[in-house]
């Protein structure tokens, strides 16, 4: 429920409420939007302009997420007018950054980039991290759209570093940036690196913490896997994205996931399922008045129908979409769709229609090619003076090199002829510069790619594995698990124990963060001493730790948890003259859980359940662990409840729970300024 903010405005409290609503919107856009509108209505008259501007910024993004483009743009206009009215320096700087898009529409790419590059010193001298972050995001978008991939990647890497300094939503910003890096690699036709980038994103958080970002990353993973012909894995990623998007009520993401699933079934030649998902995607997009989504879904639906023998009906639907994309000047999309339509006609034996589409595609390809080339040459001749000309020639050379790789054989002669004319104009030096630029670009990309390794696989403080190590292990786990099942090892599942240090905030508040770091390192040491050599111990984040114990039987799991609680809580931690009682609360589960196939309950969903078991331990007194032994009802009945409300699943006798109590504590709970620690998380 949104607060009413009585009395004098407290900007800090109001911003905290805004953060709460935005976090809710990550899980449930509809409810988040409802609460934010009420929040905006209740803002006190004396609230600062900065809070009003941030509220409008969040509101516009929620409108776009809901597929309501009209209201999203109206809200952005309201934000712009307010920023100009109050003359807030930071807001005006961000508006100046975004003005690059208006400049692009009026004067083209080169002028827009020149506008941004002139702002570099102004942004660098600003102490507003949010403005610096958005500046790099905008500049990277322009660089990538004009094939300056090395420069775009540099901006994204700078964004990763800045994300830790943002005042709000650092985790979401980091995940989004890795998603952009993945998209850049897909644009570069390097799906392997795109897949690696999504793994980095998943190492930041999970679906239970950041569901919206998780859905976006899952879809990017699916696209990368599909490009690598790993179609079954791609489909699984899309289905995971769809499940989370539906659970968290993210309608735009639901439509996007449905579209990609339909597309994947077309690739797999399962046309009936492709039709079903395409119809569902179209209905969802229509409900949001998303004309682009409807047009995309119609393409998949038309192709699915055509391949099932309904050629005219399918072809007409595809042509409707072609008309939509053509009207909106999306020529490259039109070219791709026409090519898919020609293949459908050919498969149906409609050779006359197929030939007609091929001719249209060739004509359009030539138009795109000639148009792009003309724009590049015009930019070279008209928009840059002699000092900039060398840089633009290099850009044109890189553009040529990238396009050469994509042009089909029947257009190769045109390319050669055009290059020959350019060689005549530039007196032969162009080809030499093209070679130099290509060589330089490859070296730059190689150098920048090595910077992606700046995230170590070990936690810097404790020396334990970090979250990324575990994600990498899980990503490569599928094939191993299938082999083990065939070999009869299904009854020895893997185990995950997720734990959290009790009252850790009070340790920091009482003795300081330096002592808190000592406690974290000592916990890490004790955990390493209590596990098997083949077990993996990692710092999951903050005061959370995770133990991954492969091939464990139920008795070993319970015994391991008992040892963990005893090792941590039996003996107080000491540092100099300071004695600190430390306990942990844990949740644990096996994977696969209760013989449920992992396609229904994979490691990530199991970890989400373990997290709820940990929280259950917190609410029942801490210094204990709750684990899930087995299901008492069919998994089809239990999982919908179990993955959202463990307490309800226990109450309804759906699952058998194991409780492990930690060692008794002689020392009283920590108190800070008279506030009892039991009230703290």
> What's the pLDDT at 622?
92
Range in 201-215, 253-267, 611-625, 665-679 with the lowest mean pLDDT:
665-679
DSSP state of 204: H
Q: Which residues of 67-103 are buried (b: 16+ CB within 10 A; e: fewer)?
A: bbeeebeebbeebbeebeeeebeebebbbbbebbeeb
Whether residue 427 has a cis bond before it, omega within 30° of 0: no
Confidence of residue 208 (pLDDT cuts 50, 70, 90): low
Q: CB–CB of 525/540 below 8 Å?
A: no
Share of the chain above pLDDT 90, in %: 20
> What's the pLDDT at 624?
95
Q: Express each pLDDT in 60-77 by its tens digit.
A: 888 877 767 788 778 878
- Beta-sheet pairing, 655-661 with 536-541: unpaired
Q: CB–CB of 236/258 below 8 Å?
A: no
DSSP state of 490: G
Q: Which residue has the higher pLDDT, 480 or 136?
A: 136
CA distance 437 to 393: 9
State the average pLDDT over residues 333-351.
Answer: 84
- Hey, which of 86-100, 285-299, 353-367 has the most confident mean pLDDT? 285-299
CA distance 365 to 461: 55
**Over 50: is that where the pLDDT of 297 sits?**
yes
Q: For the chain, first and last CA: distance in Å?
A: 22
Give start and end residues of each alpha helix (H) in 383-501: 386-406, 412-426, 429-451, 467-475, 478-486
Residue of 332, 271, 325 whose CA lies nearest to 303: 271
Close Cβ partners of 531 (under 8 Å, ≥ 6 residues apart): 537, 547, 549, 560
Close Cβ partners of 67 (under 8 Å, ≥ 6 residues apart): 251, 252, 255, 285, 288, 289, 290, 293
How crowded is the C-beta side of 262, counted as CA atoms within 13 Å?
Answer: 26
Average pLDDT score over the chain: 78
Residue of 297, 244, 294 whose CA lies nearest to 29: 244
Q: Which residue has the higher pLDDT, 333 or 399?
A: 333
* 3-class DSSP state of 293: helix
**Over 60: is that where the pLDDT of 245 sits?**
yes
> What's the pLDDT at 376?
44
Q: Express each pLDDT in 83-105 by its tens digit.
A: 778 777 777 888 788 788 778 77
Q: CB–CB of 655/630 below 8 Å?
A: yes
- Residue whose structure tokens are 């009585």: 6
Beta-bridged to residue 574, according to DSSP, are 579
Q: Which residue has the higher pLDDT, 422 or 124?
A: 124
Share of the chain above pLDDT 70, in %: 79
State the average pLDDT over residues 212-234.
Answer: 88
Q: What are phi and psi of 308, to 5 degrees?
A: -95, 5
160-161-162 Cα angle (round to 5): 95
**Over 90: is that where the pLDDT of 524 sits?**
yes
Confidence of residue 186 (pLDDT cuts 50, 70, 90): confident
Confidence of residue 680 (pLDDT cuts 50, 70, 90): very low
**What is the CB neighbour count within 10 angstroms for residue 34?**
16
Q: Which long-range contacts (CB under 8 A, 24 or more apart) does 664-671 make?
A: 665/569, 665/581, 665/583, 665/623, 667/572, 667/579, 667/581, 669/503, 670/503, 670/506, 670/507, 670/510, 670/581, 671/506
Locate 141 and state its tokens.
């978008």
> What's the pLDDT at 446?
54
Q: Which residue has the higher pLDDT, 35 or 458?
A: 35
> What's the pLDDT at 488?
46
Confidence of residue 442 (pLDDT cuts 50, 70, 90): low
Q: CB–CB of 677/668 below 8 Å?
A: no
Residue of 677, 659, 657 whose CA lies nearest to 667: 677
Locate 40 and state its tokens.
């905006």
Whether residue 592 has a cis bond before it, omega within 30° of 0: yes
Handedness of CA 228, 233, 236, 237 (dihedral sign): negative
**What is the CB neighbour count within 10 angstroms for residue 229?**
10
- Hey, which of 55-64, 472-481, 614-623 has the most confident mean pLDDT? 614-623
Close Cβ partners of 143 (under 8 Å, ≥ 6 residues apart): 113, 149, 151, 152, 155
> What's the pLDDT at 417?
46
Q: CB–CB of 663/570 below 8 Å?
A: yes
Instruction: Give the largest CA-CA distance in the chain.
Output: 89
Locate 519 and state its tokens.
């406690």
Torsional class of 154: left (φ above 0), alpha (ψ -120 to 50), beta (otherwise): alpha
> What's the pLDDT at 375?
47
* 3-class DSSP state of 643: coil
Locate 166 and state its tokens.
């943002």
CA distance 395 to 401: 10
Q: CB–CB of 663/572 below 8 Å?
A: no
Q: CB–CB of 512/578 below 8 Å?
A: no
**What is the CB neighbour count within 10 angstroms for residue 351?**
10
Q: Which residues are known catalytic residues?
A: 543
CA distance 218 to 206: 11
Range in 63-77, 207-221, 346-360, 429-443 with the lowest mean pLDDT:
429-443
How crowded is the C-beta side of 198, counted as CA atoms within 13 Å?
Answer: 26
Confidence of residue 330 (pLDDT cuts 50, 70, 90): low
- Beta-sheet pairing, 624-631 with 655-661: antiparallel
> What's the pLDDT at 425?
42
Confidence of residue 477 (pLDDT cuts 50, 70, 90): low
């Amino acid at each position: 429920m949104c607060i009413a903010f009585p009395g004098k405005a407290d900007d800090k409290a109001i911003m905290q409420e805004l953060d709460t609503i935005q976090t809710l919107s990550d899980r449930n856009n509809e409810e988040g939007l409802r609460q934010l509108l009420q929040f905006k209505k209740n803002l006190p008259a004396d609230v600062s302009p900065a809070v009003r501007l941030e509220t409008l910024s969040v509101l516009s993004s929620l409108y776009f997420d809901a597929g309501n483009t009209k209201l999203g743009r109206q809200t952005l206009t309201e934000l712009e007018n307010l920023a100009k009215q109050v003359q807030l320096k930071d807001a005006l700087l961000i508006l100046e950054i975004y003005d690059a898009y208006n400049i692009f529409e009026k004067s083209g790419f080169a002028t827009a980039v020149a506008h941004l590059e002139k702002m570099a010193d102004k942004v660098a001298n600003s102490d507003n991290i949010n403005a610096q972050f958005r500046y790099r995001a905008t500049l990277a978008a322009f660089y990538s759209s004009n094939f300056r991939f090395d420069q775009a990647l540099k901006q994204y890497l700078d964004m990763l570093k800045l994300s830790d300094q943002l005042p709000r939503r650092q985790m979401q910003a980091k995940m989004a940036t890795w998603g952009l890096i993945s998209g850049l690699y897909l644009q570069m036709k390097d799906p392997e690196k795109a897949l690696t980038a999504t793994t980095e994103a998943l190492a930041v958080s999970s679906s239970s913490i950041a569901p919206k970002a998780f859905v976006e990353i899952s879809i990017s993973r699916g696209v990368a896997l599909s490009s690598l012909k790993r179609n079954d894995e791609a489909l699984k990623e899309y289905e995971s994205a769809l499940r989370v998007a539906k659970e968290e009520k993210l309608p735009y993401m639901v439509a996007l996931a449905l579209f990609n699933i339909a597309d994947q079934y077309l690739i797999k030649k399962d046309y009936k399922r492709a039709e079903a998902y395409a119809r569902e995607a179209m209905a969802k997009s229509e409900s949001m008045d998303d004309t682009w989504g409807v047009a995309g879904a119609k393409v998949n639906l038309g192709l699915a129908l055509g391949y099932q023998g309904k050629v005219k009906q399918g072809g007409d639907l595809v042509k409707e979409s072609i008309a939509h994309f053509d009207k909106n000047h999306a020529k490259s999309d039109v070219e791709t769709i026409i090519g898919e339509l020609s293949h459908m006609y050919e498969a149906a034996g409609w050779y006359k229609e197929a030939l007609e589409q091929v001719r249209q595609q060739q004509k359009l390809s030539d138009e795109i090619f000639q148009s792009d080339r003309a724009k590049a040459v015009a930019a070279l001749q008209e928009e840059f003076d002699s000092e900039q000309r060398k840089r633009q020639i290099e850009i044109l050379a890189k553009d040529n090199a990238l396009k050469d790789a994509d042009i089909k054989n029947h257009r190769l002669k045109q390319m050669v002829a055009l290059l020959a004319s350019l060689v005549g104009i530039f007196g032969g030096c162009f080809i030499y510069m093209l070679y130099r630029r290509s060589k330089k670009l490859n070296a730059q990309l190689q150098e920048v790619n090595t910077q992606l390794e700046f995230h170590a696989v070990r936690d810097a403080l404790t020396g334990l594995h970090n979250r990324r190590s575990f994600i990498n292990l899980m990503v490569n786990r599928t094939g191993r698990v299938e082999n083990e099942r065939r070999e009869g090892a299904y009854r020895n599942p893997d185990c995950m124990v997720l734990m959290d240090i009790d009252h850790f905030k009070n340790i920091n508040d009482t003795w300081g963060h330096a002592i808190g770091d000592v406690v974290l390192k000592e916990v890490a040491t004790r955990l390493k001493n209590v596990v098997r050599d083949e077990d993996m111990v990692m710092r999951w984040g903050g005061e959370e730790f995770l133990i991954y114990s492969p091939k464990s039987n139920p008795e070993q799991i319970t015994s391991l948890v008992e040892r963990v609680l005893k090792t941590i809580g039996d003996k107080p931690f000491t540092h100099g003259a300071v004695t600190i009682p430390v306990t942990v609360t844990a949740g644990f589960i096996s994977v696969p859980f209760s013989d449920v196939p992992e396609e229904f309950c994979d490691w990530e969903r199991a970890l989400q359940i373990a997290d709820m078991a940990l929280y259950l331990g917190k609410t029942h007194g801490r210094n204990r662990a709750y684990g899930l032994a087995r299901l008492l009802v069919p998994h089809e009945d239990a999982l919908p409840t179990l993955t959202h409300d463990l307490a309800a699943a226990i109450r309804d006798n759906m699952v058998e729970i194991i409780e492990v109590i930690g060692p008794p504590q002689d020392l009283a709970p920590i108190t800070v300024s008279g506030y009892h620690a039991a009230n703290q998380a």
